[in-house]
Amino acid sequence: MSNRPSSSQSSVGTGGLSHAYIQHPSLRCNVPESRGLFYDDANRLLICVTSDQVFSWETASFNPEVSPSADSISEGPILSVRFSLDKKVIAVQRSDSEIQFFHRETKKTLTHKCRAGSESLLGFFWSDSPLCDLAVVKTSGMDLFACDSAMNLRLVETKKVNVNWYIYTHESRLVLLASGLQCKTITGFQLSTAGVVRLPKFEMTLATTESNSKPIISAGDVHLITVYGRIYCLQVDREAMLLHTYRFYRDAVVQQGSLPIYSSKLSVSVVDNLLLVHQIDAKVVIIYDLFVDSRAPVSAPLPLLWRGYQGSDTSSQATNKENEGPEASTSNENIVMYEDAWTFLVPDLILDQTNKVLWRVHLDLEAISASSSDRTSLLELLQRRKLEANKAKQLCLGISRALILERRPATQVTQAIDVLVTAYSYSVKAGIYKELKNEKTTATTSTNGSSPDNERQRASGSSISEEEVEMDLPSGSADGQQESQLSSPAISPDELYKFVFASVEEMMIDESDYLVAIITEFLRSISAEKLKVDLNIYVMTLRLLAHSKRFAELSLFVTNKIIEPSKEVALQLLESGGQNLRVRKLGLDMLRQLSLHHEYISSLVQDGYYLEALRYAQKRKVTSVRSSLFLEAAFASNDMQHLAAILRVLSEMIPGFKETSEYYTFHGLLNETSSSVAV
């Protein structure tokens, strides 16, 4: 297991350990005479109805301070409420045969009835498909209506299917119609912006036992979820105690393994593309990442926690409901985890009908990190996080640093670095690693390009929902105050250098071999991805190699350009060359190759090669080097012939040199010392 040096988790008792939590404050529907709470997933509205009014809260911003908007409607029973997608019309299902429409501006009312007796109305939803605006699901099938601004309904198409129940989520635009005695025959339609697509009919898997030879699937047993742009259907098989997963492709529905369940009552949430399976009887959550083929959970089953303070990132401030903190009493909520009145809403909301509050489910990435021993998989998981990109990024950096400081085997560190470099490279290629201001334009383009017509031309087998989801995913700004402006936890090579390698250098200086090995693998990794890195890492590598006197390798690093040439590198070579002349020469060669004439000439003079330096200066017409440098060097070497020669060359090179005081000084010195040398 991990022994991370610092984990806030460790300071809290086991009672506080959790990977997922709900947090104060909730969205509260403090409407007197409330007759029921509804959730409109298309508009992400929490709706509270009284006998003649509809109150609605925007949940996207999840701001408890915002007051609801209120609309008056005629009195009557309410089975469900949904706002039209432009929010101009409120549709209310009154009975199993009647839907009423209220125009919020014109106050116009319309009643839609289906044939009484022969069929009954199961529900309805609004659609943004070009074909229809409204879909009404009945026991005899699905009617698709167009609805104009004057609220006239026109039937455009009818899909005839015997329907026992249906489920629909707006984020997937997918409606599943269940038929058959066991309700396991599923007909699916996607009402996307490109039209209505019929999915291949499929049968759900149901185990039978002697006691129950014909189990029946109910609507509550089936969940549509969207993760990583893919649509999955999850189905509870109570006899087998399994949660079957099906993935939807354009032309196929493929069962993709099953997850064990530990509770006959089950629900799911999706937070940041991770699947949270609530084992309601057991009162624990198990987190899965469907991105990887492995169906192993991300973390062990732990209870869902309730936290008091907003903005308390650390789990140390997490408070379990059971240890009723002062925050809990002030908030006047009597929360019972997983009580019967909880409704799990798509994707990450929990509606508590008893307390009339709405919670959002959060993940505690820190806790997940702390309890994971496989660092490579953990880094991969963190790199896929979008919601709390900054936190994921910081955790990744911390993990990388810890791996090195703990002297983990180089292969293990290499794997970790590979994960980060690959993820960065991917995010750059995918255009995710950008400033936030670019994000909107990216989203728009993806919406435009989301028509399944385009998609159809792509490789078959791609998720039908891929673009849909991108178009409709919550923008990740739900927790405005908490969230940083990062859209991706990707870590650039420069950041890896700065926050990992450079930050551990001082502590690791006596294990420079180990650090060099890791840096080499890092360089190999970024070279494989054709990325660039801050050249300071090269300077650091040189420093480390010189520190451990590995001059043979240092030479190879330089000559093979593993260490890319630069002025900074050359200067470091000159400095390290104090111990080793060969290394110093490598530095000089690099200066020359980079045409850093001034530095080259100065270094030559410094090494006593003032004649060579002057010849080079003459050849390259470099006059920026102080002429006194050559003269002083020659004078210091006590070679008056050289001094004379240098004076002559400088006189030719620099116009008016003979008039300078320098010339007089050294000419004088020359004559003093040896009158025989002619200038």
Partner 1 sequence: MASVISVGDESLRLCVFDLRRGQTEGQELDKILFFHPPELDVSTQLSVIGLSEGAIWRIDALRRVLKEVHSLFVMFHGSVRALLEKEPTGGLTRAQLYPFIADYLSTFQKRSRSEDCCCDLFVGKKLQLPNFRETTLSERGTVQMLTLARDTALEVQSLVQVLDSCAGNLRCHSMILFQDLLVSTTLSADDTVNLFTFTVMRLTSKALSSDASSWSYLRKGSGSSEVSSRSTSAPVGSVDSLHSGNGDNMLHVIRPLQHDKWKKGKDGFLVTDIWGLETGGSPDSAIPTVWLQQTQERVYLLAYQYKSLTLLLLLPTTAILNGDLSISAVKQQVIEQASLRIMKIEEKISRGWGGENAYHVKGYRYLVVDNDMEISRASPSGKVATLAKESLLALNKLREEVDLEKSRAQKKEKDLEICIRAKNNAWVIARVSRGKELYMALEKASDTLLDATDAVGRFSNRYCSGAFLMD
Minimum distance between the CB of residue 367 and partner 1, rounded to whole angstroms?
A: 34
Minimum distance between the CB of residue 647 and partner 1, rounded to whole angstroms?
A: 19
Minimum distance between the CB of residue 616 and partner 1, rounded to whole angstroms?
A: 6
Would you say 517 or 669 has its CB closer to partner 1?
517
Would you say 252 or 556 has its CB closer to partner 1?
556
Minimum distance between the CB of residue 651 and partner 1, rounded to whole angstroms?
A: 18
Minimum distance between the CB of residue 576 and partner 1, rounded to whole angstroms?
A: 15
Minimum distance between the CB of residue 504 and partner 1, rounded to whole angstroms?
A: 18
d(CA 566, CA 531): 17
Minimum distance between the CB of residue 631 and partner 1, rounded to whole angstroms?
A: 20
Minimum distance between the CB of residue 227 and partner 1, rounded to whole angstroms?
A: 35
Minimum distance between the CB of residue 441 and partner 1, rounded to whole angstroms?
A: 35
d(CA 676, CA 567): 43
Would you say 45 or 569 has its CB closer to partner 1?
569
Would you say 162 or 527 has its CB closer to partner 1?
527
Q: Pick from 323, 654, 319: which is nearest to 631 by CA?
A: 654
d(CA 323, CA 319): 7
d(CA 593, CA 613): 15
Q: Pick from 531, 556, 547, 544: which is nearest to 502 by CA?
A: 544
Would you say 100 or 541 has its CB closer to partner 1?
541
Asked if 538 contacts 564 with a C-beta cutoff of 8 angstroms, the reply is yes
User: DSSP 3-state helix, strand, coil percentages of the chain (rounded to 5)?
Assistant: 35, 25, 40
Tell me the backbone φ, ψ of residue 632, rounded to 5 degrees. Answer: -65, -40
Query: Is omega for the bond preceding 655 within 30 degrees of 0, making it cis?
Result: no
d(CA 504, CA 525): 19
d(CA 140, CA 635): 107
* CA separation, residue 573 to residues 501, 553, 568, 600 (Å): 20, 13, 9, 12
Would you say 182 or 520 has its CB closer to partner 1?
520
Q: 113 pairs with which residues across the strands? A: 98
Q: Pick from 430, 549, 447: which is nearest to 488 by CA?
A: 430
Would you say 92 or 591 has its CB closer to partner 1?
591
Would you say 302 or 526 has its CB closer to partner 1?
526
d(CA 194, CA 127): 11
Would you say 172 or 525 has its CB closer to partner 1?
525
Would you say 268 or 563 has its CB closer to partner 1?
563
Minimum distance between the CB of residue 199 and partner 1, rounded to whole angstroms?
A: 44
Minimum distance between the CB of residue 520 and partner 1, rounded to whole angstroms?
A: 5
Minimum distance between the CB of residue 2 and partner 1, rounded to whole angstroms?
A: 23
* CA separation, residue 463 to residues 4, 39, 456 (Å): 39, 27, 10
Would you say 215 or 565 has its CB closer to partner 1?
565
Would you say 494 or 513 has its CB closer to partner 1?
513
User: Under the rule (CB under 8 A), what is the footprint of partner 1?
Assistant: 410, 513, 517, 520-521, 523-524, 527-528, 550-553, 555-557, 559-562, 564, 581-582, 585, 588-589, 592-593, 609, 612, 615-616, 619
Would you say 351 or 643 has its CB closer to partner 1?
643
Exposure string over 489-499, b if 16+ CB within 10 A, otherwise e: bbbbbebbbbb
Give the pair of three-digit tokens for residue 33: 């005479």
Beta strands across the sheet bearing 134-138: 121-126, 134-138, 141-147, 153-160
Q: 188 pairs with which residues across the strands? A: 176
Would you say 430 or 552 has its CB closer to partner 1?
552
Minimum distance between the CB of residue 609 and partner 1, rounded to whole angstroms?
A: 7
Q: Which residue's structure tokens are 């959970």?
A: 297
d(CA 643, CA 662): 12
Minimum distance between the CB of residue 11 and partner 1, rounded to whole angstroms?
A: 35
Minimum distance between the CB of residue 552 and partner 1, rounded to whole angstroms?
A: 5
Would you say 158 or 595 has its CB closer to partner 1?
595
Exposure string over 604-620, b if 16+ CB within 10 A, otherwise e: bbebebbbebbebbeee
d(CA 384, CA 489): 8
Run of H or E including 568: helix 567-576
d(CA 667, CA 679): 8
Run of H or E including 456: helix 452-457
Give the pair of three-digit tokens for residue 478: 């739900």
